[in-house]
Structure 1
C-alpha cells in the first residue's frame, strides 16, 4: 500500500484541490477556485492536503475566529478570519471518491484537530449534513442542532469539538 502523507498545501495544489472540491460537493455548495485560493493565501497554515505518491487525493481547510458558529459569509470570503481567534473553523474535509472509505478523511481530520491543539485553540467548529453527524461524533464533536447556515440551499448542523477548557 502506498504511503499517505499530509502536508501544508501550496498554491501549486490549487487546481487539484479545486477538482476534488467540485467532485465532492454539488455546484451550489462547492467552494470556487477563488475562494480556495483566498483561503490558501490568507491562512496557509490551516490548509492541509493528503497525497499518495505525490498525487493530492484529499484536503482539509479552515480558518480561525472568535465566533462559535460558522457564518455563511465565511464560505465565500476570509474577511471574518482572525489569526488569533480562539476557535478553528473547518470549511471542508474532502477526499476524492476513488479514495474514500479507506481512512484518509479520518487521518486528515485528526491532523487538523492536532493542529488546533498546537495552535492553542479552544475548539473546532464545522457544519455538516445530517448523515455525517455520527461520523463527526466519532471524533468527539457534539451536535448543536440545525445550523442557521443556508449555504448552497442545504440543511446543515452545527458541530463543535472542545479542545481545552475555557
Structure 2
C-alpha cells in the first residue's frame, strides 16, 4: 500500500536517485535544487512510499503567476499560507512502480492540499508526450511554454481548483 508524506532531509539521496532514473540529465533536478526545495517548500513536497521505500515524488513552490518560469528551477521562496498557484516542478515515479496509479495518486494528494490552502490552480509544464496524461487529470493545455529548461519544448498545463 502506498503512503504519502511530506519530504524530510533524510530523503535526499533517494530523491536524487529517483530523479535521475526518471529524467534526462538536462531536465533532472540537481542535488542542490532538492536541498533548497526540502528546506524551503517541504509543505508542498510529497513523497510516495511503499514498505518504507520512496517510489515517487511531487514538488513545486506556490507562485504568483499562472505559469512556471525558468527561474523557479534555481530560485525558490517559501510558500504563502494561502492563495497563489501551486506549481509542479517535478513528478516522478520509479520505473519499477510505474503503471500502478502512483503518479495519479501523488497529483490527487497535491491537489487536496492545494485546495485546503485555497490555491487558484495547479500549474506545470510537460513534454508533448505527457499532455494526454495531464488532460485526463483535469489539466488544460495552454500551449507552448516560454520555458527553455533543459533545451526542450514544454507545454503549459493548468488545472483550475475552484
TM over 0.5: yes
Within 2, Cα distance between the matches of 1:104 and 1:86? 26
Q: How many residues align?
A: 161
CA contact (8 A) 1:95 1:105 kept: yes
Does the Cα contact within 8 Å between 1:60 and 1:108 map onto a contact in 2? yes
> 1:5-24 counterparts in 2 under 5 A?
5-24=3-22
Which sits farther off after the overlay, 70-79 or 136-145? 70-79
Classify the secondary structure of the residue corresponding to 1:48. strand
2:101 corresponds in structure 1 to 103
CA distance in 2, matches of 1:39, 1:112: 15
Post-superposition offset of 1:68: 1.3
Contact 1:95–1:104 (Cα < 8 Å) also in 2: yes
Q: Deviations over 1:7-31 (max 9, x none)?
A: 1110011110111001111111100
* Residue in 2 that maps onto 1:137: 135
**Does the residue aligned with 2:28 lie in a helix, a strand or coil?**
coil
Gaps of 5+ in 2: none
In 1, Cα distance between equivalents of 2:116 and 2:48: 19
| Local SS of the residue matching 1:31 | coil
**TM-score of the aligned structures, taking structure 1 as reference length:** 0.94
Gaps of 5+ in 1: none
> 2:160 — aligned with what?
162
Contact persistence 2:41–2:79 (CA under 8 A): no
Q: How much has 1:82 moved relative to structure 2?
A: 4.4
Residue matched to 1:45: 43
Q: Which residue of 1 aligns with 2:80?
A: 83
Distance between the aligned counterparts of 2:25 and 2:18, measured in 1?
A: 12
Shift of 1:77: 2.0
Cα pair 1:123 1:163 within 8 Å, conserved = yes
Cα distance per residue 1:7-62 (max 9 Å; x no partner):
11100111101110011111111000010110111011101000010000110001
| TM-score normalised by the chain length of structure 2 | 0.96
Contact 2:68 2:87 in 1 (8 A): yes
